[in-house]
Structures are given as C-alpha cells and as structure tokens.
Amino acid sequence: MKNITKEPIKVWEDVYQIGGAGISSFDDCSIYLVNAEPELVLIDSGTGESFDKLVENIRGLGLEPEKLSMIIVTHAHIDHIGSLAKLKEKFNSKILAHQLDVEKIESGEKVGAELYGVIYEPCQVDIKLSKDEESLQIGKYEFKLLHIPGHTPGSIACYLDISGKRVLFGQDVHGPYNLPGADPEKAKTSLQKLIDLHSDILCEGHYSIYQPKERVEEYILSYLREL
C-alpha cells in the first residue's frame, strides 16, 4: 500500500469513504460504505492489496465488517473489484453487478490486473442486474441502481435518499471513454441520466466528493461537454 495519510471520511449520515488514494491505497478507486442498519453495504472494493486496511477502517468507524451483506460493483476494472473474493469468503457478502460486466468479474479476463501488477482472484457474482433501473432494499435503505454504459458495457451507478439529501455513487464519471469496451455515445446518455437525478452529493469513483447540487451537476456536465 502506498501513501496512507488519511482517515476514513464521513460523507453524510450513514455514508463513509473508507478507501481510495491516501485512505487505503494509492491504486484503489474511491470505496464507499453505507451503514444500512443492521447491514453494511460496500460500493466497490479496490485492487485487492488493501483488503486488511479496508477491514481496519470499517472497525475504526465502530462498525462490524461481519455485517457486510452486499458489495455493489460499479464496473469490472481491477481497481474496483480486487477485494471481492476475499470479502465474499471472509464475510459471506453477496456480490452485485450488471450482467454485461459479470463475465470479466467471474473469469478475471481483461480486468486490467497486469496494469497494476496485482493478481486478481475471480469471484462469483450473486445478483446480476439486467434492467436500466432496479431497486433493492437493504437494511433500512432503498438502493436505486442505474445501468450507465459508457465507461464499460455494464457500468452502474446507485443512489439513495438519506435525511433529505440524495447521495449518488456515480462511479467513474470522468471516464475515460476511449478504452477498449468503452462507448462515448452511450456515455452521453448515461451522463445525462445522472444529471437528471439532481443529486445533492456525488461520491465519484476516483477524484472527490462533490456537493452541493449545483456543483454535482456542473461536474458531470463538464465531462458530458467533452464527448
């Protein structure tokens, strides 16, 4: 792990960033945790090298990783899926992903592990999304799941409403949209779909946490304009 200098961040009520550059590993995506009492939900899992640190960060928040019932995979790139198998084995967590990215998650092919110098352990997906929008009740919260192809064919975002604010886990809004498997035309539609949610807080896949609503929409729009 590299450059671990920061503590987990409280984003909003019951929402935390427990991983990412400076928090778990420089190579990790931003990893978010929702305390959906009595269950915990994780959004993405990093490259796999920071598994122990992620568990430590959950415990450091006074929460029990044994309650981690669901991991939502935003897309099948190694910096988002690396710890899936370990989490599933250790805590019996269910894995949720869109069916168009499932083959890569389960086979380990073309996930980009070699670019990070890590070995990816393939992981079975338990819940395979197929619709443009689906809802899932986990603990006390309803998670809305959106298919947003563009960065990968099976990219998804999720959002939930907590105490008057809409929190959007928008995955890699910034793209890039020129990688193998990416589709800039589909990305246009997907980014507009995210803008239309009028979210108060955006938990982005790498760069930062954006708020209030006006800043969220301008951030997403800035990438839509580039396509």
pLDDT tens, position by position, 213-227: 999 999 999 999 999
| Mean pLDDT value of segment 15-27 | 95
Amino acid identity of residue 177, one-letter, is Y
The token duo for 211 is 């708020």
107 in a structural domain: yes
Share in percent of the chain as helix, strand, coil (round to 5):
30, 30, 45
Is this structure's pTM higher than 0.85?
A: yes
4 in a structural domain: no
85 in a structural domain: yes
| CATH number of the domain encompassing residue 182 | 3.60.15.10
**Residues 123-176 pLDDT 10s:** 999 999 999 999 999 999 999 999 999 999 999 999 999 999 999 999 999 999
Flag whether pLDDT at 7 surpasses 80: yes
Residue 143's domain comprises: 9-226
Q: What is the pLDDT of residue 3?
A: 62
131 in a structural domain: yes
38 in a structural domain: yes
Q: What's the structural domain count of the chain?
A: 1
193 in a structural domain: yes
Please choose, from the candidates 119, 134, 63, 125, the residue with its C-alpha nearest in 3D space to the C-alpha of residue 93. 125
For residue 38, is the peptide bond before it cis, meaning its omega torsion is within 30 degrees of 0?
Answer: yes
DSSP state of 216: H
173 in a structural domain: yes
1 in a structural domain: no
> Contact 46/24 with Cβ under 8 angstroms?
yes
